[in-house]
Amino acid sequence: MSEEHGTHIVEYKFNILIWIDLLIFTLITIEIAQFDFQALTVVIALVVATIKTYLVGTYFMHLKFENRFLQAIVIGVGILFFVVLFFLFTDYLYF
């Protein structure tokens, strides 16, 4: 069962740009921690973390170049993660 993958070469310049984006989002996360947005602080931090996770998974882990089945599995796990977070936060709000 040999499955052939086409080669994909990503330029160093593009990887450096993604790395700079990740640094910018890290600085945004640090700045968000300095302010008090009440209940939105965690939501904003999770949105920034989700964007960073997308960038790392798509470009550094090369999920962009994988087959649709593996992409579907990763998306399914992401959806499951958000469902668990939703129930966690709704449970947290009632205590």
pLDDT digits (tens, 9 = 90+) for 54-93: 899 888 888 888 888 988 998 899 899 889 988 887 877 7
φ, ψ dihedrals at 56, nearest 5°: -65, -45
Report the alpha-carbon distance of residue 27 to residue 56 in Å, rounded.
Answer: 16
pTM: 0.71
- Per residue in 8-43, pLDDT tens? 777 889 889 999 999 999 999 898 888 888 878 888
DSSP string, 25-94: HHHHHHHHHHS--TTHHHHHHHHHHHHHHHHIIIIIS-GGGS-HHHHHHHHHHHHHHHHHHHHHHHHHHT
Asked if residue 1 has pLDDT above 50, the reply is no
**How large a percentage of the chain has pLDDT more than 90?**
28
